[in-house]
Structure 1
Amino acid sequence: MLATCKSKSLSCLIGLSFIVSSVSAFAADDPKSTATPLTHQQVRSAIQVNLEQNMYSLPPRIQGHYGLRMYRMTGDEKYTNAALIDLITITERQNYFACNIDKPKFIEQQASEAISVLGKGPRAKARKKALKPFPEFIFYSDILLRYASRTDELGFMGPCHQKMVTALKAYDLKPALTDPKMIKAWAAQLINYAYWAEQLEVGNYVDDYKQAFIAAYPNDKDNELDKRQFRNKLYGMTHFIFAASGYYQQEVSAKEFKWILDYFDDNIDRILTDATDDIISEVGISFYLTGLRDHPVIKKTQNHIAASFNSEYQLIPSPRGNPDMVMGEHRNVLAMMLLDWPETLHKGPYLAETKATKKYLPVQVTPKNVTSKNK
């Protein structure tokens, strides 16, 4: 029987990772090997060691993404500095975008630039086409709402906060949010925007988006969905639950999201066949976030994700086998969460109240309980 770590100290996890990699390598070299399959906890620990040993080589946003989720899973303050790195980065961005809103043609120019860097693949082309009637939407949603919501989650108002709020309240997100072509191009991102608008108190769009999403993806038309559209539908559904939870900060009502949970349960076989590992992890996590810890879908998704672990790379590679950590951090931290869900979720981190970070905050942010002087 393979060893396990009773604590999550890095030294213990490194030792376990060595055992995991050695056993996996032995099994891979010997097709007749009867080595004990890795447990979910061992897979999770191996991924954690690999990511954390390489964390400083990853971009600030990736470090922040990982640190936030690990803090919310563990409450361990060692992850708050990763969130601080992200806060410093997004504060600079918000300072530029929010404080220049009133400059002539600024919004138009920034929106055009944001659309131009979406990429050239099929998904990017679909998004560009969908955005044509609403070119400025990407500025208000994927720039202003994105940066401001992340600042808010960490307990602050960023630069030119009130100017930004005024602009967001004046712009109606509903036409773009409820457009079928937009939903079929990026369903998950749109529900994020709807919840972020509520979070910042600049608009109420969640109910409108839900109605539009269901109309765009009626369950009785699933047989008409190709793999890409089926994944987009699933990804949108998981993000209803994730956004409502504040992104893993609190459990949400299973009753409210029964329409989603029932769909996952009814379609789990197709999900395990046609969805990516990122989405499969999110499906399992959706049941944890709604308090259904013993639902059979969780075990099915866990088994699938553990089987996707690659012992050579010590992580779960992309569907094409790419082990790149920048592209794969999202997939692998989700796998860690699914394979080792905590008893308690942790809100924040609120960096102004955290010993490790409160002395190092960017000067342009203001704790939310203090009136901002930078307007």
Structure 2
Amino acid sequence: MPSMLKTFGLVVALFYVNNVAATPTASQPAKEEVYQAIKNKLETHLFELPPRIQGHYGIRQYRMTGENRYANAALVDLYAVTEAQAFYACNLNDTDFVNQQAHKAIAALGSGPRAKARKKALAPFPEFIFYTDLLLRYASRINEFGLTGPCHQSMVHTLQKIDLKKGLTDQAMIESWAAQLINYVYWARQIGVGDYLADYKQAFTSVYPDKRDSKLNRKQYRNKLYGMTHFIFAASEYYQQPVDAKEFEWILGYFERNIERILNDATDDIIAEVGISFLLANKANNPVVAKTQQHIITAFNHQEQMIPSPRGNPSLVMGEHRNVLAMMLLNWPDTLYQGPYLSELEETKKYLPKQVQAKNK
């Protein structure tokens, strides 16, 4: 009898740890409360943020809600990216210009440890950053709005002749910015200038095989996770449509098996992205979702009404990405919305930049 009571007690204790202890207490806010608090904070200060960040927030809120009121935040971003594409894409015939702008972009990476690693990785092919971060980035954004930007065809013709495989599959590049590279892969597909997905996936899994996990320091482990979430995010065209869970089982299964290390070693941004990965795959009931949601609720700072940086910085400019991800994780919709297609919305169609036009669907 004593042994049976001991076993019963152990079962009850395990149930408590796995279930009761994981639920919010009276001192913890519910996920709806955290969602609304962050939303109020961001929307109260949205006009104070740079165009890129206003756009980042507005685009994601449009795709979560389908509410046209977020379209003008995307329009603000469109003006900025259209001007950038005009500057870079309309000067492609000038080799000196390309080289000069590539080196400027590399210098702008900064001087910290991560920046130094990226600069070193780019040294064999500095022009790679020009064709990806300064061309694909802006062209893909304009494309997402249902538009094409200035000098679009000449840019497409140039990119079709450029082989990005070397930069995309280089080990040092993957170890420096895995998530950005998978973004470039999908952006290249999106605007029809190359399909590098199979090459990149093979290179990524070779650099980060699961058997290597124990040898990865925290920064490299985070880089691996960040790259994995962006395979799913990019495939969804950044929250415009669900993804095939079977196609990404190699990622979702990995997250399930390693969720405890993820919760311990990853940043709040990455933890939110892990949870969202399951939501995009229509797996809202997976235990990983609840665990990541609880982590984000715990990370919420009542005084700042947001989730600050790991060092406690409450800057919205630096923290919008983290906080809009938290909102998405805590309040995922039943339906995702594509666009916004700015030439079709009453709120924006009269105010488009003169250098863009609606693309043929």
CA deviation profile, 1:102-155 (whole Å, cap 9, x unmatched): 124111000000000101111100000000111100000001000000000000
Amino acid in structure 2 at the alignment position of 1:223: S
1:319 maps onto 2:310 in alignment: yes
Among 276, 295, 303, which residue is 1:304 paired with?
295
Distance between the aligned counterparts of 2:27 and 2:347, measured in 1? 41
1:139 maps onto 2:130 in alignment: yes
SS at match of 1:250: coil
Q: Which residue of 2 aligns with 1:200?
A: 191
SS at match of 2:308: coil
**Cα contact 2:306–2:323 (8 A) shared by 1:** yes
Distance between the aligned counterparts of 1:317 and 1:271, measured in 2? 19
Q: Which residue of 2 aligns with 1:225?
A: 216
Q: Which residue of 2 aligns with 1:93?
A: 84
Q: Which residue of 2 aligns with 1:30?
A: none
Q: Which residue of 1 aligns with 2:38?
A: 47
**Cα contact 2:71–2:347 (8 A) shared by 1:** yes
Q: Share of identical aligned residues, percent?
A: 64
Q: Which residue of 2 aligns with 1:114?
A: 105
Q: Which residue of 2 aligns with 1:159?
A: 150
SS at match of 1:351: coil
1:65 maps onto 2:56 in alignment: yes
Q: Which residue of 1 aligns with 2:244?
A: 253
Distance between the aligned counterparts of 1:126 and 1:169, measured in 2? 28
Amino acid in structure 2 at the alignment position of 1:303: Q
Q: Which residue of 1 aligns with 2:12?
A: none
Deviation at 1:163, TM superposition (A): 0.7
CA deviation profile, 1:189-240 (whole Å, cap 9, x unmatched): 0000000000001001011000000000010110000000000000000000
Distance between the aligned counterparts of 1:202 and 1:319, measured in 2? 38
Amino acid in structure 1 at the alignment position of 2:69: K
Matches within 5 A, 1:234-253: 234-253=225-244
Distance between the aligned counterparts of 2:33 and 2:197, measured in 1? 39
Q: Which residue of 2 aligns with 1:268?
A: 259
Deviation at 1:35, TM superposition (A): 4.6
Deviation at 1:37, TM superposition (A): 2.4
Unaligned runs of 5+ in 2: 1-24
CA deviation profile, 1:284-325 (whole Å, cap 9, x unmatched): 000000111100000000000010000110000000000000
Evaluate the alpha carbon distance shift between residue 366 and residue 186 of structure 1 in structure 2; reply closer, same or farther with a 3 A threshold. Answer: same
Distance between the aligned counterparts of 2:98 and 2:194, measured in 1? 19
Q: Which residue of 2 aligns with 1:353?
A: 344
Distance between the aligned counterparts of 1:253 and 1:87, measured in 2? 30
Amino acid in structure 2 at the alignment position of 1:240: F
Amino acid in structure 2 at the alignment position of 1:80: A
Amino acid in structure 1 at the alignment position of 2:171: P
CA deviation profile, 1:257-278 (whole Å, cap 9, x unmatched): 0000011001000000000000
TM-score, length-normalised on structure 1? 0.89
Distance between the aligned counterparts of 1:80 and 1:248, measured in 2? 16
Q: Which residue of 1 aligns with 2:359?
A: 368
SS at match of 1:352: coil
1:128 maps onto 2:125 in alignment: no
1:105 maps onto 2:96 in alignment: yes
Q: Which residue of 2 aligns with 1:292?
A: 283
Distance between the aligned counterparts of 1:36 and 1:126, measured in 2? 43
Deviation at 1:36, TM superposition (A): 4.6
Deviation at 1:369, TM superposition (A): 1.8
Amino acid in structure 2 at the alignment position of 1:84: L
**Cα contact 2:28–2:297 (8 A) shared by 1:** no
Aligned length: 337
**Cα contact 2:146–2:343 (8 A) shared by 1:** yes
Distance between the aligned counterparts of 1:335 and 1:37, measured in 2? 16
Q: Which residue of 1 aligns with 2:17?
A: none
Q: Which residue of 1 aligns with 2:20?
A: none
Distance between the aligned counterparts of 2:199 and 2:317, measured in 1? 34
Q: Which residue of 2 aligns with 1:187?
A: 178
Amino acid in structure 1 at the alignment position of 2:65: T
**Cα contact 2:71–2:340 (8 A) shared by 1:** yes
Q: Which residue of 1 aligns with 2:141?
A: 150
Amino acid in structure 1 at the alignment position of 2:128: F
TM-score, length-normalised on structure 2? 0.92
Amino acid in structure 1 at the alignment position of 2:206: A
Amino acid in structure 2 at the alignment position of 1:272: L
